[in-house]
A and B are shown apart, each in its own frame.
Chain A
Amino acid sequence: MERLLRDELKAVNYMLPKRRKNLRELLNEEYPHVLLRDGSAHMFRHSELRKACEILGNELCGNLLLPIILKMRAELKEMVAEVEDPVAIKLICRILNIDEPESPPLRLYPIHLRILRREIGTLLMYAISFRRTPGEEP
Chain B
Amino acid sequence: MSQQTLRVTRPTKIELIRLKKRVKVAKRLHKVLKDRLIILTQELIMLIRDAVELRQRICDKVQECESLLIKSTPFIDPSLTESYARTRYGRVEGVVGSRVVAGVRVPLIEVRREGKPRESPEYPILLTLASRCFEELLDLTARLGEVESSITRLGAEVARVKRRVNALENVLIPRMENTIKFLEFKFEEREREDKTRMKKVKQILARKEGTVSASA
Q: Tally chain B residues at the interface, Cβ within 8 Å.
A: 32
The DSSP consensus for interface residues of chain A is mixed
B135 contacts partner chain A, Cβ-Cβ < 8 Å? no
A91 contacts partner chain B, Cβ-Cβ < 8 Å? no
State whether B32 touches A5 (Cβ < 8 A): yes
B121 contacts partner chain A, Cβ-Cβ < 8 Å? no
24 A/B residue pairs, CB under 8 Å, sorted by A: A4-B29, A5-B32, A14-B103, A15-B103, A15-B105, A36-B100, A41-B97, A41-B98, A42-B100, A43-B95, A43-B97, A44-B99, A46-B110, A79-B35, A79-B39, A117-B46, A122-B99, A125-B100, A126-B102, A128-B32, A128-B36, A130-B28, A130-B32, A136-B24
What separation, in Å, do the CA atoms of A128 and B172 have in the docked complex?
Answer: 23
B108 contacts partner chain A, Cβ-Cβ < 8 Å? yes
What separation, in Å, do the CA atoms of A90 and B151 have in the docked complex?
Answer: 31
**Given A1-B29, A9-B32: A110 and B42 within 8 A (CB)?**
yes
State whether B102 touches A5 (Cβ < 8 A): no
Chain A residues closer than 8 Å to B38, beta-carbon distance = 79, 110
How many A-B pairs with Cβ below 8 Å?
83
A54 contacts partner chain B, Cβ-Cβ < 8 Å? no
What separation, in Å, do the CA atoms of A136 and B22 have in the docked complex?
Answer: 12
Q: Which of A11, A117, A136 contacts B103 (CB 8 A)?
A: A11
State whether B46 touches A12 (Cβ < 8 A): no
| Chain A residue, CB-CB nearest to B157 | A11
State whether A42 touches B98 (Cβ < 8 A): yes
**Given A36-B100, A128-B36: A118 and B46 within 8 A (CB)?**
yes
Give the Cβ gap from A50 to chain B, nearest Cβ, in Å: 13
Shortest Cβ-Cβ A-B pairs, 8 listed: A43-B97, A12-B103, A11-B103, A5-B29, A15-B100, A126-B102, A74-B32, A1-B25
| Chain A residue, CB-CB nearest to B37 | A79
